[in-house]
Amino acid sequence: MSANIIEQRTGPRYLAQIPVRAEWDDEGSGEHVVSEGETTNVGPSGTLVHLEKLPDVGSRVQLIVLDAQGLRLEAVAEVLRIERNPIQPLAALLLIDATDEWRGLVWEPAAPRVREVKVEDEEEDEDGIEH
């Protein structure tokens, strides 16, 4: 039996550990929750984040990306799925807004940098002299 899996990603994901903070209002208690953590990977319209405390699937969170100066970007995200692993609790988030800013400030800088190999066009003649 084969399973049909629909890939919904809009582009490649890059491994990146970026400090983040997620804030939301807990639907059950009404309490305002603040959970800090870091990204595991980032895509052009979402991220997988390791958080101290996890929001509920389907809820919306205010995702704050942090840098050395404090704030880099704020965006609203929807929780697509969670992994309640006690060692590394994860939440998959889909950005609702600020996607252009996300791509420019978070996703593109996380792309792996490929070193260009310099091809030498110099040829040597039969005498070993370069031309």
Write out pLDDT tens, residues 42-64: 999 999 999 999 999 999 999 99
Contact 91, 79 (CB under 8 A): yes
Distance separating the N- and C-terminal Cα atoms of the chain:
64
User: What one-letter code names the amino acid at 55?
Assistant: P
Helix, strand, or coil (residue 71): strand
Contacts of 7 (CB under 8 A, 6+ apart): none
Residue 131 pLDDT grade (very low, low, confident, very high; cuts 50, 70, 90):
low
**How far, in whole angstroms, is CA 77 from its chain's centroid?**
12
Looking at the predicted structure, is the pLDDT value of residue 108 above 70?
yes
Q: Where are the domains of the chain?
A: 14-110
pTM of the predicted structure, to 2 decimals: 0.77
Summary mean pLDDT of the chain: 83
Give the pLDDT of residue 49: 97
- Which CATH superfamily hosts domain 14-110? predicted glycosyltransferase like domains (2.40.10.220)
Q: Do the beta carbons of residue 20 and residue 66 sit within 8 Å? A: yes
